[in-house]
Structure 1
Amino acid sequence: MAMFTLNSSSGVSSPIGSPGGASMNSDVTIKVPFKQRTKIGIWNVRTMAQPGKIQNAIQEMRRIDLKILGISEMRWTGANHCDIEDFKVYYSGLPKKLEYGVGIIVHKSIAPKVRNFVPINERIMLIQMEAAPVNINILQVYAPTSDHTEEEINYFYTQIASITRKIPKKEVLIVMGDFNAKVGQGRTGNHIGPHGLGERNKQGDKLSSFAGENDLVIMNTFFELPPRRLYTWTSPQDGKKEGLIVRNQIDYVLINQRYRNSCKSAKTYPGADINSDHNLLVAEFRVQWKKLKTNQSNKPYDYRKLKNQDIKKRATEMLKKELEHIKNSPETDVKIDMINTAIKKVKTEILVRDPTKKKSWMTTEILELMEERRIKKQHDKSGYKIINTEIRRKIREAKELELKEKCAEIEMAQRRYDSFNVHKKVREITGKLKKKTVGKLENEQGEIIIDINEIKETWKNYVEELFADQRNEHEIPNTMTGPDILVQEVEAAIRSMKDGKAPGPDEVQTEILKLLEENFIIELTNIYNNIYNSGIIPHHWLKSEFIVLPKKQGAKRCSDYRTISLMSHMLKLFLKIMHKRLYRICEEQVSPTQFGFMKGLGTRDALFSVQVLFQRCRDMNCNIFACFIDYQKAFDKVKHNKMMEVLQDSGMDGKDLRIIKNLYWNQSATIKINQENTDEIKILQGVRQGCIISPLIFNLYSEAIFQEALENMEEGILLNGKRVNNFRYADDTIIFADTAEGLQHLMDKVTNISRKYGLEVNISKTKSMIISKEKIEGVQLIINNKVVERVKTFTYLGTTLNEDWDHSQEIKCRIEKARSAFNNMSKLFKTHNLTVEMKMRLLRCYIFSIMLYGIESWTLTGATTSRLEAFEMWIYRRILRISWMDRITNESVLQRMKKDKEIMHTIKRRKLEYLGHILRNENKYHLLKCILQGKVYGKRGVGRRRISWLKNLRTWFATSTTGLFKAAANKIIIARMIANIR
């Protein structure tokens, strides 16, 4: 066994992963086992955004046997990690711009050791790795150049110093990257060695101060090497004049003083090539990596294999065999465990995803050319440029070939009616595959938290505080008359369950539950009846797992994240059966002004109600004073005792109440952070996230609030002799009246009653608006002694409302959003490798769906119609790659596309169909019909009338209002009218 000698009195510790740091009074030689050597590289690559750059870096890593490579000037957007060949790439950049950025590429053999990844910003990132006996922290940086301000440079060093201080002293810290600083030749204290290069500059002083203050050693100044092994950057002035050499050392690797002996060498590799003006700097460390147990639960499964009839048959037979003794067990918990075990066996033996290697567009020829370019780097600059140009050309050809092949796959999937793979391939081409965004977390003092245990504790405290409440036990009435669950109900619930949903902690998947044969469904029905009749819910059904997703870019605080709950699919199936029974109660008691979570109602109905009623009021000179209420965490602040009172008052059966009570009073959750879970947390308030009956419960809860708040209130808009004063979509609420005093009175009542039920109005996000032809000034709405901000525009359910009630602004927004989506997917739409028919299908799916959101509520003018048609032609011209200079008429464009104009046809059809939908379902849409036809009290002003919602239809279909209503009530006549649209 190889050994090395450590002089303990020198203040230098043993290699990484070895015991050390003991203080001794005399020189003692300690024999320590020779550890594994690991090469870590640092490279400013200028950009990784160019095609082929990442493959070039990986090729050089393989050649030099680098296990870790830190990248400066990554220039990738966002913060994330991804797998490329045998490497995992971590990166941190700006949200949108391809500037700056840092990254770390880790070999697959070491990637599992990464326990935590913290993207600080576009210049700093941290990965924490598990080693024995101490962990390793690698901080990759890219410092501002001297062109930046002093404040920017100082801020950079303040940030890395702040992170450095958070690393435990006993752990290894490596700070590396492009510091854009020259520390120069000559020793400085214990932190800079004598073998640097050149003269120190101002940035070098800052780096020296940072290293000295934080007990770090700049390792590539401690090894005596020729200058060609020291310089890391070649200036553009280098070689401009004969004999002029301008080469500097500005990239460094730093390690904490205690572990400096672990670094055995640090030198540059001028022969390594990535078409950059920086040289690769490689430091060699002695490391003992920690052996980790593989987590079987993280295995990827492919449930789409069940579409193969042979595999489905095998899985069904295995499930049948594993459950053949389920009848012999009388215990409900034992039966559920047997089902869970059987399902897990099917997954692990049949449904494990095949380890198919992702096909890369990169070719062997290009990689060989890159190697040839590398060889010519030092001695043949002209040859280097020629080969570099050839590499670029070959890369373009390879990328075009890849696009052609993927387009062929899309067409093939379309011919097989495989919509899943059609859209998957589209997202691959356009780069729209859903990726987990990695964020950072700050504490209350605004400091970034980097320790994974501290992160878990912060999340645990936040969720505990969010769901904390004082609640008492609730007595359930003895009216237990609920009928037993039928086999047919279980079968119907299983059929209606959606595939592709993430499993809960028990890892049972819906796709496999659908394989259960009739006799096992009978057993499952018996299990559910035992639970329903006893009220005793299996303990593992009561446990949920929260995952956190950022609500916005740059999320830093826990409140900037959304928690998503994953629960058992077996429980979801049981609650789906309950949902069918409870929905009737909910439907009977919820007001028609609530459009959220109700069958046959949605955002289009809520938008139609607001848009058409307010437009009609404005036309009749009936002023509207509106308040858009935003509640603070509405779903998370529902009080359980109040909730049970509301459910009991609704007439819900005792069995259902008991199940809901036991679910809420015994539930707990953990939060999953970086594949690790926090301790269990008791959930003491709020409706259950991810639970199918939660929307019904919330609707009944909010209905109780508004019934109590608005009972016997005379404020609102007079419509057909009755007052309407609110529209709701779940917790998105609009309160309105025809006077400012009336709105103030309504809001006082709603605010007070909401507080009684545990819901607080968020004043900072709640806004007011006045819709009137007159300019009304000096009117203020007061909530909790604070003035509510009055706005001219407001985004409600994804659409823009404005005080002039003019739809042209919303239509402009929709067009620009659709234009942006088209530009993001232009690579797909402009290719010659897809048929026009396929492009049109994708266009309707991805572009027109964005533009036409909420069109049922639009009122169009001639100008907005022209704008929509012009945008449609703009799209077709770009699909056909026709320039405006080509002077091609719209008629010729449509002939080439083999179609007529489509957008206005779609708008006319959908508005007419929606009118018929309202008129044919009088009971369901009574409020919408009143809004459309009912009397609005007021006096119309002089002058030409504004175009109304019905005026559009009368003009388009050349009929009167009476004729329109008669025709719309008959589906056959509507079909005829649509067929004759011009």
Structure 2
Amino acid sequence: MAMFTLNSSSGVSSPIGSPGGASMNSDVTIKVPFKQRTKIGIWNVRTMAQPGKIQNAIQEMRRIDLKILGISEMRWTGANHCDIEDFKVYYSGLPKKLEYGVGIIVHKSIAPKVRNFVPINERIMLIQMEAAPVNINILQVYAPTSDHTEEEINYFYTQIASITRKIPKKEVLIVMGDFNAKVGQGRTGNHIGPHGLGERNKQGDKLSSFAGENDLVIMNTFFELPPRRLYTWTSPQDGKKEGLIVRNQIDYVLINQRYRNSCKSAKTYPGADINSDHNLLVAEFRVQWKKLKTNQSNKPYDYRKLKNQDIKKRATEMLKKELEHIKNSPETDVKIDMINTAIKKVKTEVLVRDPTKKKSWMTTEILELMEERRMKKQHDKSGYKIINTEIRRKIREAKELELKEKCAEIEMAQRRYDSFNVHKKVREITGKLKKKTVGKLENEQGEIIIDINEIKETWKNYVEELFADQRNEHEIPNTMTGPDILVQEVEAAIRSMKDGKAPGPDEVQTEILKLLEENFIIELTNIYNNIYNSGIIPHHWLKSEFIVLPKKQGAKRCSDYRTISLMSHMLKLFLKIIHKRLYRICEEQVSPTQFGFMKGLGTRDALFSVQVLFQRCRDMNCNIFACFIDYQKAFDKVKHNKMMEVLQDSGMDGKDLRIIKNLYWNQSATIKINQENTDEIKILQGVRQGCIISPLIFNLYSEAIFQEALENMEEGILLNGKRVNNFRYADDTIIFADTAEGLQHLMDKVTNISRKYGLEVNISKTKSMIISKEKIEGVQLIINNKVVERVKTFTYLGTTLNEDWDHSQEIKCRIEKARSAFNNMSKLFKTHNLTVEMKMRLLRCYIFSILLYGVESWTLTEATTNRLEAFEMWIYRRILRISWMDRITNESVLQRMKKDKEIMHTIKRRKLEYLGHILLSTLRSRVRFPLGVDFSRKEKFVLGMACLSSFLSFFYLRFLGTKHLIL
């Protein structure tokens, strides 16, 4: 037991976790157990966006022995966390602009204690850490300056007050940062001490009110120190006139009243340097950190090691040895557990990722110059500026050298045909390797949820409500038909499984399953046959784990996130065999107007069909009234009883039906939030996320809806005596007719039948469009007594459709998207460290692929051709760093690039390849396109020449009941 006596107006420093009870103005001697001392810093660095700034901050943290550093004016975009050297950086900023922003840098010894990170906005963020006996919450802030409006300042204090009230009273709360406020000298109540600096201003009144109302104490006003240890900001006016000193105290550290005596000191370090006009403020606390158990399951594994034949051989032999007794186990569950155990052992002993330290561009020379600059900060301003200029020059050189080395690595990886590392290095250079932005979560009242348990409960309730339904037990026929699973089926399924997929709760990876030798594949086949013939699915296969990813920047509600299900790879392999059997049924029964999840078909086929049909109708003066349907969470609202009825009517084998029924009726899931899982949730509706057979089940389900809805319907476009009235890509649906009344009739029927099957039309996202040469006004489409918005343009499957059916608008959009992608990657394309050949490969991969999406259905004119070629030359000039003022011809540019123009050549080749794809498929039969319209001889000639000039834009359409090519 250690004895401490402290005679100061701050009282005795008790460790965090021991409620402070001593008077702030009395001399007290108490006994406290020795606890770890932790220094926490607060610093406005003006920006962390400059290269070298973060390394400078880390160097100062090491020198002063700071464990936690709160940053104001971080100026990093988005909200996330990353590892830099021995520190973890949490930050919260604006989505795109390099303005404002806050951050907290945590030493690696404390980083595991961070249980929760909540990025409120670009001025406020919170981290919650586990300590003993109570947890610690740190709220890092950056207040608006006095230049901002009163409303902005009041809103800032309202927000941090709201967060403060959500922190449990028994826990430690530290609020720190740049408040841009002067509380001044002189004591105010129990929350402001007598040792402030200067005179209070209006912002200081707001800070004082905030501290008093929320029972917080401003700790750096309670320690009697010289002024140089109190001021935190130096004004630009300081020292401009002789004797003029403008230095203020505007950065503060606040702690809740109960734990005020845990703060041992709070003072500034004027000698600390990061090229900022703010001084570093350091508060020292006594903290008892909680000891946490290491989670072995979070170990990173490197499955790419299996490309090394020696490692692969070792892993295979180890797997063989571990599974040699699997035949002696009669029970299926025991065999599966043996496989799981063997795979985990192989991963742990062979595939653990090597602890390689990421190479930094920062050099020892630059760090030494930063230290030299720091030494000159107080006494030699001219020398400080000279060294600062030298540091910036050295940083530029180091960054250029790093870029050169990474480009060399890209070239080397390309020569080895290592596409994985090529794309990885490209993402590193262009800054695209960052993880998804971390979001915050609000409840139904719009209040931010702070507590991790409350966050978990909110997610649990949301997912339960999303998948809740009144589901009855479904009886399946007693006729259990279905052929046994063959070894060849298992082998084919294993070969077709993709690598690099996240594992489910059992942590079994596909890459390891591919190491199984023939005798073990036979044993695996026996396991699958036991499951298939009994219908009993292992219980741990029925558990899924949901992870949540934000759909957009600034996600706040649960509905703004996308839930991704992680399921057992052993189950995926089993269902891949069922999928092959189910696909044959799906292919026979699903309408040709459905393009989603069908072999040999994709978005280009769907887009081409829409483009051809609508363009032809418009050319032949046939009006089209279309509705683009958006269903509310279509895949999550599939009714299980209806689904089983549909599958049963499809003629599926009884054993397959039983497997699907047991899979759906016995499934459960948990949601993983911040490495913690919620309680298990029953899934009572919706197709299984991440399941390989779900797309086919949904196709059959939606086919049942449209067959029932459109049966005996006469509305639509007449083609060869049959009516076509819809195109579908999974749930992305277009309904169309040649009259407004016909479309209304179709939509009424589709809406009602969809509701019967559990699918509701989202009126706010459903749009209508009229494609006609004439301007048709006064036509409204009504769904559920609400008017559907009529639009002039609509984005369908990534392509912009418009009522004039003019492809030039879509081409303009694609050019701008490609231009934006090029600008985002300009650092890579403008460097001299990559060969022109390598840049062209990257151009084709990252830029031209964006530009030419949907090119098969384009109708090109002279104007659009010129626009595409001009964009191609714009790219080449940027690559060669040629200004338009240099007056260099396109021919000279192409000579320097050592190539010819290729965009138009690529477009023609893509169209020809697509023509070959169709002619070699079952769609090679040709029919005419009768729309009942007569043309004059001149009109036929003009139309014929137009079709000839863009022949590949008018040759394909799949329609109801036929598979023909329309020319």
* TM-score, length-scaled by structure 1: 0.93
Does the CA-based 8 Å contact 1:74-1:101 persist in structure 2? yes
Deviation per residue, 1:169-206 (Å, 9 max, x gap): 00000000000000000000000000000000000000
Deviation per residue, 1:320-360 (Å, 9 max, x gap): 11001000000000000000000000001110000000000
Between the aligned partners of 2:178 and 2:24, the Cα distance in structure 1 is 37
Q: What SS is found at the alignment partner of 2:559?
A: helix
Does the CA-based 8 Å contact 1:181-1:203 persist in structure 2? yes
Q: How many residues align?
A: 939
Deviation, structure 1 residue 7: 13
Between the aligned partners of 2:554 and 2:548, the Cα distance in structure 1 is 14
Does the CA-based 8 Å contact 2:178-2:251 persist in structure 1? yes
Q: 1:971 to 1:623 in 2, by over 3 A?
A: closer
Does the CA-based 8 Å contact 2:12-2:28 persist in structure 1? no
Between the aligned partners of 2:799 and 2:376, the Cα distance in structure 1 is 59
Deviation, structure 1 residue 8: 17
Q: 1:510 to 1:977 in 2, by over 3 A?
A: closer
Does the CA-based 8 Å contact 1:12-1:258 persist in structure 2? no
Deviation, structure 1 residue 848: 0.3
Does the CA-based 8 Å contact 1:11-1:258 persist in structure 2? no
Deviation, structure 1 residue 517: 0.5
Deviation per residue, 1:739-785 (Å, 9 max, x gap): 00000000000000000000000000000001111111111000000
Deviation, structure 1 residue 12: 9.2
Deviation, structure 1 residue 915: 2.1
Deviation, structure 1 residue 892: 1.1
Does the CA-based 8 Å contact 1:670-1:678 persist in structure 2? yes
Q: 1:532 to 1:9 in 2, by over 3 A?
A: farther
Q: Report the equivalent of 2:339.
A: 339
Does the CA-based 8 Å contact 2:74-2:102 persist in structure 1? yes
Does the CA-based 8 Å contact 1:12-1:257 persist in structure 2? no
Report which stretch shifted further, 405-414 or 19-28. 19-28
Between the aligned partners of 2:765 and 2:133, the Cα distance in structure 1 is 50
Between the aligned partners of 1:486 and 1:170, the Cα distance in structure 2 is 62
Deviation, structure 1 residue 21: 6.6
Between the aligned partners of 2:21 and 2:518, the Cα distance in structure 1 is 67
Q: Report the equivalent of 1:175.
A: 175
Q: Report the equivalent of 1:395.
A: 395
Does the CA-based 8 Å contact 2:179-2:252 persist in structure 1? yes
Q: 1:328 to 1:916 in 2, by over 3 A?
A: same
Deviation per residue, 1:461-505 (Å, 9 max, x gap): 000000000111111112222111111110111011000000000
Deviation per residue, 1:12-49 (Å, 9 max, x gap): 99420336679999999763312110000000000000
Q: Report the equivalent of 2:256.
A: 256
Q: Report the equivalent of 2:580.
A: 580
**Unaligned residue ranges in structure 1 (runs of 5+):** 919-949, 956-963
Q: Report the equivalent of 2:476.
A: 476
Between the aligned partners of 1:204 and 1:100, the Cα distance in structure 2 is 20
Deviation, structure 1 residue 977: 29
Deviation per residue, 1:70-91 (Å, 9 max, x gap): 0000000000000000000000
Between the aligned partners of 1:380 and 1:105, the Cα distance in structure 2 is 30
Between the aligned partners of 1:536 and 1:294, the Cα distance in structure 2 is 35
Deviation per residue, 1:503-548 (Å, 9 max, x gap): 0000000000000011110100000000000000000000000000
Does the CA-based 8 Å contact 1:13-1:258 persist in structure 2? no
Deviation per residue, 1:581-602 (Å, 9 max, x gap): 1100000000000000000111
Q: What SS is found at the alignment partner of 1:493?
A: helix
Deviation, structure 1 residue 846: 0.3
Deviation, structure 1 residue 899: 1.0
Q: 1:22 to 1:562 in 2, by over 3 A?
A: farther
Q: 1:362 to 1:176 in 2, by over 3 A?
A: same
Deviation, structure 1 residue 953: 19
Deviation, structure 1 residue 11: 11
Q: 1:152 to 1:634 in 2, by over 3 A?
A: same
Q: What SS is found at the alignment partner of 2:765?
A: coil
Q: What SS is found at the alignment partner of 1:441?
A: coil
Between the aligned partners of 2:230 and 2:26, the Cα distance in structure 1 is 35
Alignment of 1:680-695 (within 5 A): 680-695=680-695
Deviation, structure 1 residue 912: 2.0
Does the CA-based 8 Å contact 1:67-1:110 persist in structure 2? yes
Deviation, structure 1 residue 910: 1.0
Residue 970 of structure 1 pairs with residue 949 of structure 2:
yes
Q: 1:286 to 1:951 in 2, by over 3 A?
A: closer
Deviation, structure 1 residue 872: 0.2
Q: 1:205 to 1:20 in 2, by over 3 A?
A: closer
Deviation, structure 1 residue 433: 0.8
Q: 1:312 to 1:574 in 2, by over 3 A?
A: same
Does the CA-based 8 Å contact 2:635-2:686 persist in structure 1? yes
Deviation, structure 1 residue 65: 0.1
Does the CA-based 8 Å contact 1:916-1:970 persist in structure 2? no
Does the CA-based 8 Å contact 2:11-2:27 persist in structure 1? no
Q: What SS is found at the alignment partner of 2:29?
A: coil
Does the CA-based 8 Å contact 1:42-1:70 persist in structure 2? yes
Q: 1:389 to 1:903 in 2, by over 3 A?
A: same
Alignment of 1:712-791 (within 5 A): 712-791=712-791
Deviation per residue, 1:705-732 (Å, 9 max, x gap): 0000000000001122211000000000
Q: 1:20 to 1:202 in 2, by over 3 A?
A: closer
Does the CA-based 8 Å contact 2:11-2:24 persist in structure 1? no
Between the aligned partners of 1:35 and 1:534, the Cα distance in structure 2 is 61
Does the CA-based 8 Å contact 1:301-1:351 persist in structure 2? yes
Between the aligned partners of 2:851 and 2:21, the Cα distance in structure 1 is 65
Does the CA-based 8 Å contact 1:16-1:262 persist in structure 2? yes
Does the CA-based 8 Å contact 2:10-2:25 persist in structure 1? no
Q: 1:119 to 1:972 in 2, by over 3 A?
A: closer
Q: 1:488 to 1:2 in 2, by over 3 A?
A: same
Q: 1:513 to 1:23 in 2, by over 3 A?
A: farther
Does the CA-based 8 Å contact 1:229-1:268 persist in structure 2? yes
Does the CA-based 8 Å contact 1:46-1:72 persist in structure 2? yes
Q: What SS is found at the alignment partner of 2:206?
A: helix
Between the aligned partners of 1:328 and 1:503, the Cα distance in structure 2 is 28
Deviation per residue, 1:360-392 (Å, 9 max, x gap): 000000000000000000000000000000000
Between the aligned partners of 1:78 and 1:507, the Cα distance in structure 2 is 31
Q: What SS is found at the alignment partner of 1:245?
A: coil
Does the CA-based 8 Å contact 1:43-1:69 persist in structure 2? yes
Q: 1:25 to 1:181 in 2, by over 3 A?
A: closer
Between the aligned partners of 1:478 and 1:521, the Cα distance in structure 2 is 30
Does the CA-based 8 Å contact 1:8-1:28 persist in structure 2? no
Between the aligned partners of 1:849 and 1:380, the Cα distance in structure 2 is 55
Does the CA-based 8 Å contact 1:6-1:31 persist in structure 2? no
Deviation, structure 1 residue 951: 23
Between the aligned partners of 2:169 and 2:14, the Cα distance in structure 1 is 14
Deviation per residue, 1:668-721 (Å, 9 max, x gap): 000000000000000000000000000000000000000000000000011222
Between the aligned partners of 1:487 and 1:23, the Cα distance in structure 2 is 79
Report which stretch shifted further, 216-225 or 892-901. 892-901
Q: What SS is found at the alignment partner of 2:145?
A: coil
Q: Report the equivalent of 1:198.
A: 198
Between the aligned partners of 2:523 and 2:294, the Cα distance in structure 1 is 35
**Unaligned residue ranges in structure 2 (runs of 5+):** 926-942, 953-957, 961-965
Deviation per residue, 1:124-148 (Å, 9 max, x gap): 0000000000000000000000000
Q: Report the equivalent of 2:839.
A: 839
Q: What SS is found at the alignment partner of 1:448?
A: coil
Deviation, structure 1 residue 967: 18
Q: 1:6 to 1:730 in 2, by over 3 A?
A: farther
Deviation, structure 1 residue 412: 0.6
Q: 1:454 to 1:862 in 2, by over 3 A?
A: same
Q: 1:327 to 1:778 in 2, by over 3 A?
A: same
Q: What SS is found at the alignment partner of 2:6?
A: coil
Q: 1:47 to 1:616 in 2, by over 3 A?
A: same
Between the aligned partners of 1:320 and 1:951, the Cα distance in structure 2 is 44
Between the aligned partners of 1:24 and 1:227, the Cα distance in structure 2 is 21
Q: 1:951 to 1:604 in 2, by over 3 A?
A: closer
Between the aligned partners of 2:860 and 2:201, the Cα distance in structure 1 is 65
Q: 1:195 to 1:25 in 2, by over 3 A?
A: closer
Deviation, structure 1 residue 436: 2.6
Between the aligned partners of 1:564 and 1:84, the Cα distance in structure 2 is 29
Report which stretch shifted further, 712-721 or 15-24. 15-24
Q: 1:56 to 1:9 in 2, by over 3 A?
A: closer
Aligned-residue RMSD, C-alpha: 3.6
